[in-house]
Chain A
Amino acid sequence: MAAATRRRFALIAVALALVAALIWLAVDPSRRESAPLFRHGALRIGVDASYPPFAFLADDQLHGLDVDLGRALADELDIPAQFVLLGFDGLYDGLQTDQVDVLISALRIDPGRQVHYSLPYFDAGLALVSAAGRDFTTMAALSGHALAFEFGSEAHSEANRWLRRIQPFETRPYELPAYALDAVRLGHADAALVDAVSARLYLRDQPDWGAQMSVVRPVPLAIATRIDRLDRALAVNEALAALIEDGTVAALIDRWL
């Protein structure tokens, strides 16, 4: 090999080494240390226990969909689950200050947050509920018909937006989401716009009513992990994917909703 070529290779090697060193220095020290995935020997789960049926306290015990999901996730990761109660305002700060490893607390994916979100595990969006066989599965189908919703709720605001976008429809505000759904079941309205959780709970209590439900404004819920722990986020995501795949998540949703 000619001396000039050798020198060129040497220069390239030095440049590559420099780039590698810069990348290594740029990476956060906690990630360089190859910290264990869950260094406290448990999956520490931050949860706001004021939000049934996702998480709530009864007889000093934690219950709910998120609680069961947390336990299933810990089982899948083969470590014990440890729940840490936090208020909603303190959830993300609790994650940032390493008081918990993950947040499972009916969290909507929020692009403004500096965290990793998992795959969604439930859609808690607004749903149109109507009698089976009626064509009320989209906003456009409502023109000229009657829509029931809870007065002053998110569905009320959404209905107001729809009134500006499609041909007029009759609005029927009620005091409670259950009344709005009653109105459809009893023939006072063609469809009800309510949150998916209220809809599922109502339909569970009315098994004889042949109704259909269609989510028209999705609100995916997901698990959050710290932004500087990509390894943890990937492990959680993989475990959650396995739970979705084997039907565990669907069974938990059916149990609570």
Chain B
Amino acid sequence: MQRWLTVERRRQAAHVIARIYGIYADLRRWWPWYLRGLIFMLALDMLVPAAPRAPLGPPQTVETIKPHVCVHTRLIEEVEEWKIQRSLELTRALGAETIVEFFPWAYIETAEDRYDWTQADRIVSHARNQGIRIIARMGLVPAWARPDPAEALTTLNTLPPASYADFAAFVAEFAARYAGVIDHLIIWNEPNLAFEWGYQSVDPAGYVDLLRAVYDQVKVANPDAIILAGALAPTLEPPGSPHGLNDLIYLERMYQAGAADYFDALAVHTYGFTEPAAAESHPDLLNFRRAEQLYAVMQRFDDGDTPVYITETGWNDHPRWTMAVSPSQRIGHTIAAFRWAEVNWPWLEQMCLWVLRFPLPTLSYPDSFTLITTDFQLKPIYHAVQAYARGFPQTETLWLPPPAAASP
């Protein structure tokens, strides 16, 4: 065995030496061509346009006459920094002083106590540069804080009670890092939907436990922090439904579980769906004025002085979705909604449209909630909201009348 190895090793060594010599001989013979090839490749590389850079310019301010106009952005998944900057420039040009942006726990604390703030810092610095205030939405659970996948199939929304303290610690870290810059924090998203609660049964009391875990820690980290709770999905799902729970019932149960002591403002999601902005609200109806139904619940629990932030609202103009309207109706309803809120809802702080733009299209009807396409085309709805927020006249006719003898 010893002898065989020795012979084999000798053979291998001789083979390696021969290969090295072969490369050396090749280089001696062909080096002028290798050099030319290298120069050619470098020249080609110089022809490729460099990725646009995104240096911070002079600090900007938002010009608006409607400070309640706000828009939800999706910047956290944006790979290229210039697109973050461009999105925020367009937000400023829209006349929106405030954005809601998602800061997923799973993206930042990828391992326990190991934080990567790169993308969050980038968003914050560009937003500040444009004079835009951020409301941060917190959620999504990193793998290390979820149940063992061998025991249960989980999603990024699966937050076991055993991990509430870890989530609270993360939110407190976030609050401390951005104190004075981001003081508004939404705790979780639509916990009244089963899939947003990790496909577990929705649990208002469990959500209040989460608020309780977060509240005091965050106040220590940033005494000026405003904790926004709720962000409930508008839905009529009855108790016991596997899909979720009616937002009005869920909010009532939150109060019954003692939620009032653990939030400073209510985040509200209210969509117009197929109805105009001024359509009457009713507990059995989903429309824009459902926000009034939620506020009525707050009043019933003697919490009417707590401010309300609409952190998601809007209409969809997809041609197929049953809950959509036409693009022209969408514009009319959206502007009417801003006016309605301005005149009738003194308890409202902000009204944030879902959604400015997606970094990647969803390839289905959610794309028809955007104000700007993925390739930065401004949709007519963008111009309409801008005209409202900045007081621009909009007298131009946007579409043609139906052709003669048109189909209804």
Which A residues are closer than 8 A to B by beta carbons? 4, 7, 29, 50-52, 54, 56, 85-90, 93-94, 96-99, 106-108, 110, 112, 150-154, 156-157, 160-161, 172-179, 182-183, 186, 188, 195, 197-198, 202, 205, 219
Contact check, B399 vs A175: say whether CB atoms are below 8 A apart: yes
Binding site of A, secondary structure by majority: helix, strand, loop or mixed? mixed
A contact residues around B404 at 8 Å (CB):
186
Q: Which residue of A lies closest to B77 (CB)?
A: A112
Q: Whole-angstrom distance from the CB of B63 to the nearest CB of chain A?
A: 25
Contact check, A175 vs B365: say whether CB atoms are below 8 A apart: no
Which B residues are closer than 8 A to A by beta carbons? 1, 4, 150, 153-155, 157, 193-195, 199, 243, 317, 319-323, 326-328, 330-331, 360, 362-368, 373, 375, 377, 379-381, 398-400, 402-407
Q: Whole-angstrom distance from the CB of B274 to the nearest CB of chain A?
A: 11
Q: Which of A51, A52, A172 contacts B400 (CB 8 A)?
A: A172
Contact check, A178 vs B407: say whether CB atoms are below 8 A apart: yes
Contact check, A152 vs B328: say whether CB atoms are below 8 A apart: yes
Contact of A157 with B373 at beta-carbon distance under 8 Å, contacts A4-B4, A183-B403 already known: yes
Contact check, B193 vs A90: say whether CB atoms are below 8 A apart: yes
Q: Which of B155, B322, B366, B379 contacts A96 (CB 8 A)?
A: B155
Contact check, B321 vs A87: say whether CB atoms are below 8 A apart: no
Could you tell me the distance between the alpha carbons of A52 and B193 in the complex, rounded to whole angstroms? 23
Contact check, B406 vs A178: say whether CB atoms are below 8 A apart: yes
Contact of A96 with B195 at beta-carbon distance under 8 Å, contacts A108-B363, A173-B399, A188-B403 already known: no
Contact of A52 with B399 at beta-carbon distance under 8 Å, contacts A4-B4, A108-B363, A186-B404 already known: no
Contact check, B322 vs A52: say whether CB atoms are below 8 A apart: yes
Q: Whole-angstrom distance from the CB of A24 to the nearest CB of chain B?
A: 17
Q: Which residue of B lies closest to A183 (CB)?
A: B403
Contact check, B400 vs A173: say whether CB atoms are below 8 A apart: yes
Could you tell me the distance between the alpha carbons of A7 and B2 in the complex, rounded to whole angstroms? 12
Could you tell me the distance between the alpha carbons of A108 and B363 in the complex, rounded to whole angstroms? 6
Contact check, A174 vs B377: say whether CB atoms are below 8 A apart: no
Q: Which residue of B lies closest to A219 (CB)?
A: B363
Q: Which of A56, A85, A97, A182 contacts B407 (CB 8 A)?
A: A182
A contact residues around B360 at 8 Å (CB):
112
14 interchain pairs (CB within 8 A)? A4-B1, A51-B320, A94-B195, A108-B363, A110-B363, A152-B328, A156-B379, A156-B380, A157-B379, A174-B400, A175-B399, A175-B402, A183-B400, A197-B320
Contact check, A52 vs B153: say whether CB atoms are below 8 A apart: no
Q: Whole-angstrom distance from the CB of A94 to the nearest CB of chain B?
A: 7
Contact check, B365 vs A51: say whether CB atoms are below 8 A apart: yes
Contact check, A152 vs B150: say whether CB atoms are below 8 A apart: no
Could you tell me the distance between the alpha carbons of A112 and B359 in the complex, rounded to whole angstroms? 12
B contact residues around A198 at 8 Å (CB):
319
Could you tell me the distance between the alpha carbons of A112 and B365 in the complex, rounded to whole angstroms? 17
Q: Whole-angstrom distance from the CB of B1 to the nearest CB of chain A?
A: 7
Contact check, A175 vs B364: say whether CB atoms are below 8 A apart: no
Contact check, B320 vs A52: say whether CB atoms are below 8 A apart: yes
Could you tell me the distance between the alpha carbons of A195 and B199 in the complex, rounded to whole angstroms? 34
Contact of A153 with B399 at beta-carbon distance under 8 Å, contacts A97-B153, A112-B360 already known: no
Contact of A93 with B327 at beta-carbon distance under 8 Å, contacts A106-B364, A173-B399, A195-B319 already known: no
A contact residues around B362 at 8 Å (CB):
110
Contact check, B399 vs A151: say whether CB atoms are below 8 A apart: yes
Contact check, B331 vs A51: say whether CB atoms are below 8 A apart: no
B contact residues around A99 at 8 Å (CB):
199
Q: Whole-angstrom distance from the CB of A200 to the nearest CB of chain B?
A: 12
Contact check, A152 vs B321: say whether CB atoms are below 8 A apart: no
Could you tell me the distance between the alpha carbons of A112 and B323 in the complex, rounded to whole angstroms? 26
Could you tell me the distance between the alpha carbons of A59 and B121 in the complex, rounded to whole angstroms? 51
Contact check, A151 vs B327: say whether CB atoms are below 8 A apart: yes
Contact check, B320 vs A175: say whether CB atoms are below 8 A apart: no
Q: Which residue of B lies closest to A179 (CB)?
A: B402
Q: Which of B328, B368, B375 contacts A151 (CB 8 A)?
A: B328
Could you tell me the distance between the alpha carbons of A205 and B406 in the complex, rounded to whole angstroms? 13
Could you tell me the distance between the alpha carbons of A80 and B157 in the complex, rounded to whole angstroms? 31
Q: Whole-angstrom distance from the CB of A177 to the nearest CB of chain B?
A: 6
20 new A-B contacts at CB < 8 Å, known A87-B193, A108-B363, A157-B373: A87-B195, A88-B366, A94-B195, A97-B199, A110-B362, A151-B328, A152-B327, A152-B328, A152-B330, A152-B380, A157-B377, A161-B375, A174-B402, A175-B327, A175-B402, A178-B407, A186-B405, A186-B406, A197-B319, A198-B319
B contact residues around A93 at 8 Å (CB):
155, 157, 195, 199
Q: Which residue of B lies closest to A205 (CB)?
A: B407
Chain A CB within 10 Å, residue with most, of B153, B319, B328, B405: B319
Contact check, A152 vs B195: say whether CB atoms are below 8 A apart: no
Q: Whole-angstrom distance from the CB of B276 to the nearest CB of chain A?
A: 16
Q: Which residue of B lies closest to A49 (CB)?
A: B322
Could you tell me the distance between the alpha carbons of A4 and B7 in the complex, rounded to whole angstroms? 12
Q: Which residue of A lies closest to B200 (CB)?
A: A97
